[in-house]
Amino acid sequence: MSNPDLNLLITLDILLAEGSVARASRRLRLSPSAMSRALARLRETTGDPLLVRAGRGLVPTPRADALRSRVHDLVEEAQSLLRPVERSDPGALVRTFSLRTSDGFVENFGPSLIARVSAEAPGVRLNFHQKADKDSLPLREGRVDLETAVVDQAIGPELRVQALFRDRLIAAVRPAHPLAGQKVTLEDYVTARHVVVSRTGLEEDAVESPFLPQGMIRTVASVVGGFATALSLARSANLVATVPERHTATLRDGMVTFAVPAPTKGFTVSMLWHPRLDGDPAHRWLRGIVRDVCALRAEHE
């Protein structure tokens, strides 16, 4: 048995509403002959005449009367599904969003994000997940709604990307460190004991290395998994932590910072999401909140 032509539902809805082939053809912008053929197909499909001659007009059969409201509701529902989604009301939103973020993002931007979300959408919860690698599979699988990253070629090409802010590397030490308050030379910097950040635990994979001069060799005393840990060690020992300036502003409170005494590359921190969430009004609202909070922090720094 072949599948029925669902376009006939729209035709049937108009025919039953108008009770006239001529008027229905005008509403659907069809010729009267084309509408007559459509009615013939409807009669064949339903096994019922649907509209029969009564004097100079047409009247519905009992089957047509029984179908009228059901067909109209089905057409209305289908049209509603295919319309662009209207902007949602954040105040009525009940949803949990999962954000996978780079080290330091939550400490710097998390409180402002939660405050803004709580004010606009009390029913929304933000869950933050530590980013252990650059694998975009969690975004593809829907386990993560939004991610922050420094975009490179490892990012999946199908993902949506929008820049949030520019950042750069700086060096941070405790106030009692011999380099604190001094004019630091390149030799001072590379010979000092460093704590570096590497997701793999290997010194050669230090995440700050791509933004330092190629071939620079530092004296590494320790390798840790994140900038928060690196700064915690540097706060308590004579170690230099080279970290992103904006990402770690809160984490560096009370520490002494200085510019890396060598040319460094700046980088852009972006947010990423999967295309399936592009048109979701709630997700668009969340992206707007993240952009606003990051921009506001930039104005105050």
> At residue 119, what are phi and psi to the nearest 5 degrees?
-70, -40
Asked whether residue 226 is assigned to any structural domain, the reply reads yes
The whole domain housing 229 covers: 169-265
Distance of CA 177 to the CA centre of its chain: 41
Lowest mean pLDDT among 1-15, 53-67, 99-113, 187-201: 1-15
Residues 109 and 238 in one domain: no
Type of residue found at 24: A
Residues 281 and 154 in one domain: yes
CATH of the domain at 53: 1.10.10.10
DSSP 34-46: HHHHHHHHHHHHH
pLDDT one-digit tens code per residue, 220-267: 999 998 899 999 999 999 999 999 999 899 899 999 999 999 999 999
Residues 173 and 238 in one domain: yes
Residues 216 and 276 in one domain: no
Residues 155 and 189 in one domain: no
CA dist., res. 299 & res. 278, Å (int): 28
Asked if pLDDT for residue 192 goes beyond 60, the answer is: yes
Residues 286 and 148 in one domain: yes
Q: Does this model's pTM top 0.75?
A: no
Residues 95 and 75 in one domain: no
Which residue in this structure is represented by tokens 């650059």? 134
Residues 162 and 276 in one domain: yes
> What's the confidence (pLDDT) of residue 223?
97
Count of domains in the chain?
Answer: 3
> What's the confidence (pLDDT) of residue 77?
77
Asked whether residue 2 is assigned to any structural domain, the reply reads no
